[in-house]
Each structure stands twice: as C-alpha cells, then as structure tokens.
Amino acid sequence: GPGLNQFLSKKQKPRPRAVKSQTFAGQRNPAYISAHPAARTEVLTPRNQKVESGTEDGGAAERGDRLRLPHETDHLREKLLDIFADQALKVDFVLQSEPYTRDLNKLSDLILNLKF
C-alpha cells in the first residue's frame, strides 16, 4: 500500500465506486462483502478443552470403568488443594474434565500442564 505521507495527502486517486445494488433491511450490500470473512473467537468451555489422558490405552487402566464417586472427588480435591493451594480453579477444572481419573500423580501432572 501507499506510505503514510502519500496516504494522507490530498492527491489520492478517487476510489472506484461499488456497483449499486438493491439492499434489504438487515442485510449487507453484496458489493461490500469482504473476500475474507471476519475472524471469529471461539468460546471454550471445560467440555471443549478435554485434557488428554496421556496413556496409550486412552486411560482405561487408571480410570477404571466407572465415574469417581462424589466422596472420592472430594478427597482428591482436598489432596490437590494441599499441593496447589492457590489454584482451586485449575483443580476443579481437571477434576471435572477427568471424571474417571483417581491417580493423584496423573491429576497433578494435568494441573501442571494447564495453560490458564
């Protein structure tokens, strides 16, 4: 594109006008639609950000075939908060994302690898 001084000068060439077309309320004029769509920001939730289990068998050996019971989750949460005192959000996120995992070391590793 032009340099800043050239861009700001009054000697610019007139831009060609877009072809007039009929528009309807709430719709953009097709002559002004960008060839590149606007970027979209995706909102991620804990369900979207599934933490990978990291074992070759998909974590079946460490998670068993059943969900953790509420008292097991509470016990793991207490233990994890002893280790990660000021990181309750990360602890809760990992416990929610990994409802089958009971291994304290595995859960700790997942917390350490979170990037938020």
Tell which residue, 95, 114, 103, 93, has the closest CA to residue 62.
103
Any idea which residue has 């979170």 for tokens?
114
Please, what sign has the CA dihedral across residues 25, 28, 30, 31? positive
What is the predicted pLDDT for the residue at 6? 78
Residue partners of 29: CB distance under 8 A and separation at least 6: 18, 21, 23
Task: Dump pLDDT digits (tens) for 15-71.
Answer: 666 555 555 555 555 554 445 555 555 555 555 555 544 444 445 444 457 999 999
E-strand stretches of the chain: none
Task: Dump pLDDT digits (tens) for 85-115.
Answer: 999 999 999 999 999 999 999 999 999 999 8
What is the predicted pLDDT for the residue at 63? 44
What is the predicted pLDDT for the residue at 13? 62
